[in-house]
Amino acid sequence: MRWLLFMLALMPGGALAETLIATRTLRAQTVLTPADLALEPGTLPGALTAPEEAIGLETRVAIYAGRPLHPEELGPPAIVERNQIVPLTYRQGGLLIQTEGRALDRAGVGDTIRVMNVGSRSTVFARIAADGTAIVSTQ
């Protein structure tokens, strides 16, 4: 089988694509570095094909050594932990309300999570900004 792959790679127009795999078992919540990734000959539908697509992202699930990486298994690194107290902001037109909230989920920049308003104990959905502020969505 390997000689066949080698021969196909040498043929004009026969260059093979590569699939990005884990070099070791990666636990959920691991931020990926170049040492965690390798390229393997061949393509797998839906799998990532370049290290640049994954480096700096965080694993959402455990990924075992030698397994391909898929985009849905990765996301931005979390900057807010579950149960963390975060600034909670609501803005509409000229109205600005700021208070404290308790994050009910872990989240990275741009993720939408549930946040409990500490004062009223009501739960809202909020998007996490780069500074860790939870911005209430009006939807």
Q: DSSP string of 45-111?
A: TT----GGGTTT-EESS-B-TTPBP-GGGEEPPEEE-TT-EEEEEEEETTEEEEEEEEESS-EETT-
Find the radius of gyration of the CA atoms of the chain.
Answer: 21
pLDDT at 43: 86
In this structure, the answer to whether residues 6 and 19 fall within a common structural domain is: yes
Residue 17: per-residue pLDDT: 83
- The per-residue pLDDT for 139 is 56
Q: pTM of the full predicted structure?
A: 0.68
Mean pLDDT (10-residue bins), the chain, 139 residues: 46 67 96 96 91 95 96 94 96 92 94 95 96 86
Q: What is the pLDDT of residue 93?
A: 87
Q: Verify that 51 and 107 share a domain, yes or no.
A: no
What amino acid is encoded at 113 in this protein?
Answer: I
Same domain, 71 and 88: no
Domain housing 37: 2-75
Give the number of domains in the chain.
2
**Do 25 and 14 belong to one domain?**
yes
At residue 115, the pLDDT reads 97
Q: Does 65 lie in the same domain as 30?
A: yes
